[in-house]
Structure 1
Amino acid sequence: MTSITSENLLVELRRAAGVVGGIAAKLTDQDVAAASELPGWTRGHVLAHLVGIGNAMARQFEYASRGETIELYDGGVEGRNRAIELSAGHGIEQHRDALAAAVDRALTAFGSLDTAGWRKPISYRGGVVFDGGLALWRELTIHATDLGTGRGPETWSRPFCEYLVDFLSARVPEGERFVLQPLGLPSLAIGAAGGHSTAINGMLTDIAAWLAGRTPTLGSLRATAAADGVELPALLPWPAGVPVAN
């Protein structure tokens, strides 16, 4: 698995923010009102969610810098959902402005950190600021794909996919073990040692997309158990930091 440090995480955050900003720059009002890749959500919903998570993670840091913690969203899950619904129908200029402000706020916060700052406690998952940075990277990268503009999981980098596989190992059902065999790369196992074993063979990006509940785009996934072809295993729910679907 890849080893993400605070230095290369900041580089990845800036890159992911640039991708999302570039997509938003090309959207029209009609595009924003169209369906995204997420069931029941328009692209406006996805953009509104990205604004919310950007501000939420920035706020986690801002409070941590004062030695305090605060819930991820104002008003908890209900507040998060209400804010998305209220903003989803905005025009593209409003979305762009809000997205730029939220992302700049978060990047400024993370960019100002020293080594100790990355380790300060936050309320999100009972973790530290570094965990908040990983979450923002995850949200920006996956939701750039969810906007449905042609940037699929095949564009996800190897470091991101390796991080995502590690994070999403929590989706392996109890008593199961997945032996992941990404083409051209070393195999790795996630789940219970000694559990019922299923081998998943395919491109790393497809494996990561499947674990993330997204559609593999290179069509290469194949599952086997005891040398026989089987269906891809069922997964546990997304390990959300708040009890909402990701």
Structure 2
Amino acid sequence: MTPITPEQLLDELRRAADVVAGIVAKLTEQDVEAPSELPGWTRGHVLAHLTGIANAMARQLEYAARGENIELYDGGVEGRTRAIELAAGHSLAEHRADLDSALARALRAFDSLDGAGWKRPITYRGGVVFDGGLALWRELVIHATDLGTGRGPETWSRPFCEQLFDFLAARVPDGERFVLQPLGLPAVAIGTPGGTSTVINGMLTDIAAWLAGRTPTLGSLRATAAADGVDLPELLPWPAGTPVTNVNK
């Protein structure tokens, strides 16, 4: 896997924000009230969450630029949950205005970075600004799919899927090793070196969707262990340190 550069990440963030904004521009009031792909959440919940994470990541950068750190959400996870529930029932116009403002704020914060800025420490996962950029990229791309408007995991790019392989290696149970074998691409091994090995074959996007707890859309996944067909292995929860939106994330 080729590491992504800050410049490439910034381009990906802009592209992902445009995709989300484009989806929201086509929604109706009834669409916002309808169920999303996330259990128990309407599309309004997903939009409120996207607004919240964009604002939260923007303020991580704003504080980091002053040499300060601040928690990701006011009030922590409980504050985040309250904010989503309060905003989920907003009108379409309110969601559009709030999300447009949040995305613009986040992109301004990332646009303003110089080389050193990407390395400033932030509170999110005890990482640096670059880690925050990767997190926002994941949130925008995955939740664009969760809105359930027809843009499924099959639209995820190769760089995005490969980044997910790296981040979601933490979902491999201890003592196990997954050999991810996307069709026509090099294999990627994640998990415990020398652990019990399971090979996951399929389209790149299907493997990424499965790791992310989403439904593969191309129906291509197959697991083998010691050359025998087996069920897809169980995954650990989404890596600790990321706010939870459902059992998979």
TM range (shorter): over 0.9
Residue segments in structure 1 that go unaligned for 5+ positions in a row: none
Alignment of structure 1 residues 26-175 onto 2, 5 Å: 26-175=26-175
SS of 1:235's equivalent in the other structure is: coil
Letter of the 1:233 counterpart: P
Q: Percent identity?
A: 80
How far apart are the structure 2 equivalents of 1:48 and 1:102?
10
How far apart are the structure 1 equivalents of 2:102 and 2:190?
35
Aligned residues: 246
Runs of 4+ with deviation above 3 angstroms: none
Letter of the 2:13 counterpart: L
1:170, distance to aligned residue in structure 2 (A): 0.4
SS of 1:200's equivalent in the other structure is: strand
Letter of the 2:159 counterpart: P
Letter of the 1:43 counterpart: R
1:242, distance to aligned residue in structure 2 (A): 4.1
How far apart are the structure 2 equivalents of 1:187 and 1:170?
18
Residue segments in structure 2 that go unaligned for 5+ positions in a row: none
TM-score, structure 2 as length reference: 0.98
Letter of the 1:70 counterpart: I
How far apart are the structure 2 equivalents of 1:2 and 1:205?
17
Alignment of structure 1 residues 216-235 onto 2, 5 Å: 216-235=216-235
1:188, distance to aligned residue in structure 2 (A): 1.3
* Equivalent residue number for residue 238 of structure 1: 238
How far apart are the structure 2 equivalents of 1:67 and 1:188?
37
Letter of the 1:86 counterpart: L
- Write the deviation string for residues 152-205 of structure 1: whole angstroms up to 9, x where unpaired: 000000000000111000000000000111000011110101100000000000
How far apart are the structure 1 equivalents of 2:231 and 2:161?
22
- Write the deviation string for residues 110-166 of structure 1: whole angstroms up to 9, x where unpaired: 000000000000000000011001000000000000000000000000000000111
How far apart are the structure 2 equivalents of 1:30 and 1:80?
25
How far apart are the structure 2 equivalents of 1:166 and 1:244?
19
Q: Is the 8 A contact 1:121 1:128 kept in 2?
A: yes
TM-score, structure 1 as length reference: 0.99
- Aligned-CA RMSD value: 0.7
Q: Is the 8 A contact 1:77 1:242 kept in 2?
A: no
